[in-house]
């Protein structure tokens, strides 16, 4: 309205139903600049009337008396005072007038809204000044009514922290976006942790270069090694021991034994190939070549593994002495990984 008045354009039919909200939550004014097509609206209205015509509720007293045209800045400001009442009371005066006809005169004004302070949608930041603004806008004296520029300043002063619906929506979208970013970051972190677990499991089963090739869809090529040493051991009397034990006891026993073995081989330049049943296979010089040190690494490791078996206690048979057979072989090897469906 301030923009229209700045360009010497007056509405003449301002009411709440001409205040429309577009898809961007922006309030816009409609139905102005059409007075040439509504000549009957400029006719003098009687000083006593019913609310059959919705425009009469918003018409200024001087317009009803025929002393002035509806196309004036003061008349638009008076109409805006009625809209201010509707905003505060969350009520539609037009609908009320249609359901409960009231006989009005030029002195009639709707009751001032009963406002309360607060931060909810139905509360008013400054109820006293808001009611004073309504009184100024519907004043009988045309000269004392404020302009829309002044009204805007008064409203901004009443509510300095006002946030437009668009800004509010953007703030909500920003909060939602940050919430999504936090969720994505959390899920990404979980994914990275699961990936690290998968990598650790895969690298414990296969050499890292081979595992990386398989993850990228490349076939692991067979590689020849001129010199390496293999260690292979099994448990003496494992068949009889298994026959006199429960499956859980066998699993617990092997898990404890080979966990101890794994701790020992970490001290040597070796690579554990696999553990099947009671068989334990370790190699040195494959997949990382280490010159002539492979035989010494395997031999020293084998002595440590045999030594630890003398003090090892079988959990469910503590009186049985654990014995293993160990053998080593040095020579030329071909190493590869075969993946079967």
Query: Between residues 78 and 203, which one has the greater pLDDT?
Result: 78
DSSP code, position 145? S
pLDDT at 252: 92
**pLDDT tens digits, one per residue of 206-234:** 777 777 777 777 776 777 888 889 999 99
Lowest mean pLDDT, pick from 155-164, 275-284, 306-315: 155-164
Query: Between residues 97 and 47, which one has the greater pLDDT?
Result: 97
- Whether 2-162 shares its CATH topology with 222-335 is answered no
Stretch 121-139: mean pLDDT: 82
pLDDT at 45: 44
Query: Between residues 157 and 207, which one has the greater pLDDT?
Result: 157
Residue 46 pLDDT greater than 70, yes or no: no
Residue 278 pLDDT greater than 70, yes or no: yes
Which CATH superfamily is 222-335 part of?
Nucleotide cyclase, GGDEF domain (3.30.70.1230)
Residue 121 pLDDT greater than 90, yes or no: no
Question: Could you tell me the two tokens for 14?
Answer: 């301002």
CATH assignment of 2-162, among 3.40.50.1100, 1.10.357.10, 3.40.50.620, 1.10.510.10? 1.10.510.10
Q: Collect contacts of 3-12 with beta carbons under 8 A, ≥24 apart.
A: 4/29, 4/32, 5/73, 5/76, 5/147, 5/148, 6/149, 9/33, 10/70, 10/71, 10/72, 10/73, 10/75, 10/76, 11/71, 11/76, 11/79, 12/41, 12/69, 12/70, 12/71, 12/75, 12/76
Q: With pLDDT > 70 as the criterion, what percentage of the chain qualifies? A: 85
Residue 146: which pLDDT band, with cuts at 50, 70 and 90? Answer: very high
Stretch 237-259: mean pLDDT: 90
Farthest-apart Cα atoms in the chain, separation: 121
Residue 82 pLDDT greater than 60, yes or no: yes
Residue 51: which pLDDT band, with cuts at 50, 70 and 90? Answer: very low
pLDDT at 119: 60
Residue 178: Cβ within 10 Å count: 10
* H and E: helices and strands count for the chain: 12, 10
Lowest mean pLDDT, pick from 29-33, 40-44, 256-260, 286-290: 40-44
Domain boundaries, the chain: 2-162, 170-205, 222-335
Residue 52 pLDDT greater than 70, yes or no: no
Question: Could you tell me the two tokens for 22?
Answer: 């577009």
């Amino acid at each position: 309205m301030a923009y229209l008045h700045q360009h010497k354009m007056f509405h003449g039919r301002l009411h709440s139903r001409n205040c429309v909200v577009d898809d961007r939550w922006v309030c816009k004014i409609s139905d102005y600049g059409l007075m040439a097509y509504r000549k009957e609206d400029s006719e003098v209205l009687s000083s006593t009337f019913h609310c059959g015509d919705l425009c009469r509720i918003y018409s200024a007293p001087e317009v009803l008396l025929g002393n002035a045209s509806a196309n004036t800045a003061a008349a638009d400001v008076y109409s805006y005072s009625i809209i201010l009442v509707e905003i505060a009371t969350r009520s539609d005066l037009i609908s009320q007038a249609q359901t409960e006809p009231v006989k009005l005169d030029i002195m009639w004004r709707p009751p001032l809204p009963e406002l309360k302070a607060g931060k909810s949608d139905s509360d008013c930041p400054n109820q006293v000044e808001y009611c004073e603004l309504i009184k100024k806008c519907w004043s009988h004296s045309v000269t004392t009514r404020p302009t829309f520029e002044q009204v805007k300043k008064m409203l901004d002063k009443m509510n300095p922290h006002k946030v437009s619906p668009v800004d509010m929506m953007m703030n909500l979208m920003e909060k939602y976006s940050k919430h999504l970013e936090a969720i994505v970051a959390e899920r990404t972190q979980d994914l990275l942790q699961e990936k690290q677990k998968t990598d650790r499991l895969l690298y414990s089963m296969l050499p890292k270069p081979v595992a990386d090739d398989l993850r990228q869809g490349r076939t692991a090529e067979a590689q020849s090694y001129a010199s390496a040493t293999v260690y292979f051991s099994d448990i003496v009397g494992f068949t009889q021991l298994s026959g006199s034990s429960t499956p859980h006891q066998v699993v617990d026993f092997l898990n404890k034994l080979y966990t101890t073995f794994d701790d020992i081989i970490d001290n040597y330049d070796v690579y554990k190939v696999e553990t099947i049943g009671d068989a334990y296979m370790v190699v040195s010089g494959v997949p990382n070549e280490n010159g002539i040190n492979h035989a010494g690494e395997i031999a020293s490791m084998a002595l440590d593994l045999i030594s630890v078996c003398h003090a090892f206690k079988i959990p469910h048979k503590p009186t049985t002495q654990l014995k293993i057979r160990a053998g080593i072989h040095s020579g030329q090897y071909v190493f590869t990984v075969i993946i079967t469906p």
